[in-house]
A and B are shown apart, each in its own frame.
Chain A
Amino acid sequence: MTPDQIIFLLCAALIVGSALMVVTTKNLVHAALWLVATLFGVAILYGLLQAGFLALVQVVVYIGAIAVLFIFAVMLTRREMRDKGTQVNHNWGISALLALLTFGGLAFILSSWVGFSSTAKAIPAGTDTLMMLGKALVSPDAYVLPFEVASILLLAALVGAVYIATSSKE
């Protein structure tokens, strides 16, 4: 066991454990807070994968914005502050079965793939992946078009969200 592997296993336990809490806990604000724990674990994974920029973007976007939005939405959409009774619908059994089958199927397909247990090459010294990423996002030969389309999508979503959520004052 190398330190990397120990960190990975702790992180995986955090992610899977808190993800299970997200989908099973009765209190929805708690579910949103468990989502924060999951997302934080994923950010650590990005750090392990040497994608520090993505790890920080994950924290800014998901924990700073999306999770807080979720907590707001949970509070704004109910009469009582406490959730009572079951939070799952009547076909949760089939859902659980389907989820297990998905996991089994994915694991089966992946394990029969040749590259399944490949290991990573060390990033060559002197490669600045952050610089590469930045250049790729704005270079016309690379991903400037998808990047711009994503920004237009965000703008449209912003306008749409404001329009939908504004209560009409007749």
Chain B
Amino acid sequence: MSIPLSWYLILSAALFSIGLFGVLARKNAVAILLGIELMLNAVNINLVAFWRYGSGSIAGQVFAIIVFAVAAAEVAVGLALIISVYRRRTTVIADELDLLKW
């Protein structure tokens, strides 16, 4: 293993920032969820890299699996909400969903 840990950390920082940009800048609610997926993946890269470069504990992989489960749950509920909103308002543009704004 000739790759230093820093490479993985920088890559995951870059992926996280790209995901953050997606979440903040996208108009469409589905695209915002895509950005969140990128951020979750960046976290997972870090967890697995720390598992591989750390001491013998398996905790990193276990955490990564729990992140998978959370990501799946998040997408299922998130997309169901978006589809439900689309049925009522016929739009998924986050700016136009402003019923609670005054």
A residues within 8 Å of B by Cβ?
2, 4-5, 8, 12, 15-16, 19-20, 22-23, 28, 31-32, 35, 38-39, 42, 45-46, 48-51, 53-54, 57-58, 61-62, 65-66, 69-70, 72-74, 76-79, 86-89, 91-92, 94-96, 98-100, 102-103, 106-107, 110-111, 115-120, 122, 129, 132-133, 136-137, 142-143, 146-147, 150-151, 153-154, 156-158, 160-162, 164-165, 167
Contacts and interface: CB of A to CB of B under 8 A. Distances in A.
A133 to B, nearest CB: 5
A12 B15 CA distance: 10
Interface of B: 1-11, 13-22, 24-31, 33-35, 37-38, 41, 44-45, 48-49, 51-53, 58-59, 61-62, 64-66, 68-77, 79-84, 86-87, 90, 92, 94-95
B13 A103 contact: yes
Contacts of B51: 49, 51
Given A66-B37, A66-B71, A153-B73, A99 B62 contact: no
Contacts, number: 247
Given A45-B45, A65-B72, A137-B65, A87 B10 contact: no
B53 A120 contact: yes
Nearest to A120: B1
23 contacts: A4-B3, A12-B11, A16-B18, A19-B19, A23-B19, A42-B44, A45-B48, A51-B51, A65-B72, A70-B33, A77-B82, A77-B86, A92-B25, A96-B21, A100-B17, A115-B5, A115-B53, A117-B6, A119-B5, A133-B62, A156-B73, A157-B73, A161-B77
